[in-house]
Amino acid sequence: MYGAGFQHSGGGLSSAFVPSLPSFSPVLMPAARTRRLALNCAIVGAAWVLGTAAAEPAFAKPTVGVEDTLLVVPDSLRGLSGAIRFMALKPDRTAPEQLESLLDLFGLDALSSPGIHRVMDPVSKEPFSFASLVPFTEKQDGKVGVYRVGRWPAEVRRPRSEAYRLPAGFIEVTEENQHTQVSTHFTLGQFLTKDQRDVWPKMLLLDERLVDKLELIIVELRLAGHKAPGLNVLSGFRTPQYNARGKNSGRATDSRHQYGDAADVFVDADGNGKMDDLNGDKRIDTKDALAFVRIVEKVEQKYPSLVGGVGLYRAVPGHGPFVHVDARGERIRWGIP
C-alpha cells in the first residue's frame, strides 16, 4: 500500500531521528561537501528502511546531519511576516529552481517519499523544513494509513470554488516531528486535529498563508501594546470526519478548517487559559474578542492578499472567547456584534 518511506517519515532525513547531533556551526561549506553530506544522509535513510535502526541507532555516530544540510532559503518562502519556516512541496506549486536545489540536496527518492526535510539556512542561521506530502490518493476507505480522515466535500459534489477542491496531499506528522517549527511562533503539532490521540502518524493540512497571517497578528498585537508571546490555537486543521461530528454545535459543512487555512485562536500572555483582557476593563468577555478582531482587520488592511474569514465566538462553559481566522482569499465576517 505504501512505500517504505511513507512509514518512516522519509527515513534518516527526518530531523526527528537525529535529535542529539551537534548544533549548527555557522561555517559555509563548499557545495561539493554539502552534496556529499546529502549522499550520506541518503545511505543512512536506506539503513533505517532496512530495519537496522534500534533505540541507539548506529547511524547516530556521524558528526554531521540534517543540521548541516545547507540551503539558502529565498525570502519569498518566508512569507509577508518573514517568519515562515516551512513549505509543503506540492509538485504544481514548487518553482523548478527550488526543486532542483532540493533534489541536489536530498535526492529524488527521499524527496518523493513523504517526510520532513530540514535544511539550515546559512544566512538566517535558522532551520527551514520542506514537507513532502503523502498523496491524497493514498486515502482508502476514509483513512490514510491508520489515521481516519473521512471524505472531503469535493468527493461527493463539485467544489464551489478553487479553494474547495481536493487537497494535493497531507503532511505526515509523527510523534517525533510534531515539534517542527512551521514559523517563529508555531509548530506542526499545534494545528493537528484533536482526535485519535494515540494514533500516529497523523495527517495534516496546513497552508503557509494561514501561518503567515497568524504571525502578522502577533506583530499587530505587539504594535498595539499587548503582550503576545504567541497565540493559542484552540482548533487548527479538522479532518472532515472530525468536523462532521460538530455540525450540530455550529461547525459548517464547508468549514475552512478542513483545508488547513483556518484556526480558532486567542492570545493568552498571562497563561490563564483564556483570552487576555485586551480592552483593559478587567473582564474577559466578547469585548476582548472584538478587540482581537480589530487587530485582524488591521492585518488584512495592510496585507490584502491574506484576506479571509473572521468569526467571533463568545465564551461558553469550557472555553473563553476566541476568534476564527482564515486565509480563504475572500473577505467574510460572522458573529461580530
Which parts of this chain interact with Zn ion (CB under 5 A)?
A: 264, 324
Residue 257 Cβ, how far from Zn ion at the closest point, in Å?
Answer: 6
Residue 243 Cβ, how far from Zn ion at the closest point, in Å?
Answer: 10
Q: Which is nearer to Zn ion, 46 or 315 (CB)?
A: 315
Report helix, strand or coil for 336: coil
Q: Residue 200: what are its φ and ψ, rounded to 5°?
A: -135, 150
- On the 0-12 / 13-18 / 19+ scale of CB atoms within 10 A, 95 is exposed
Q: CA Rg, the chain, in Å?
A: 21
Residue 160 Cβ, how far from Zn ion at the closest point, in Å?
Answer: 18
Q: Which is nearer to Zn ion, 35 or 251 (CB)?
A: 251
Q: Which is nearer to Zn ion, 36 or 333 (CB)?
A: 333
Q: Which is nearer to Zn ion, 118 or 257 (CB)?
A: 257
Q: Which is nearer to Zn ion, 53 or 312 (CB)?
A: 312
Residue 25 Cβ, how far from Zn ion at the closest point, in Å?
Answer: 43
Residue 300 Cβ, how far from Zn ion at the closest point, in Å?
Answer: 16
Cβ atoms within 10 Å, residue 252: 14
Torsion-angle region of 199 (φ positive above 0: left; ψ -120 to 50: alpha; else: beta): beta
181 neighbors 119 (Cβ within 8 angstroms): no
Query: Closest residue to Zn ion, Cβ-based?
Result: 324
* CA distances for 78 relative to 73, 165, 183, 208, angstroms: 8, 25, 8, 9
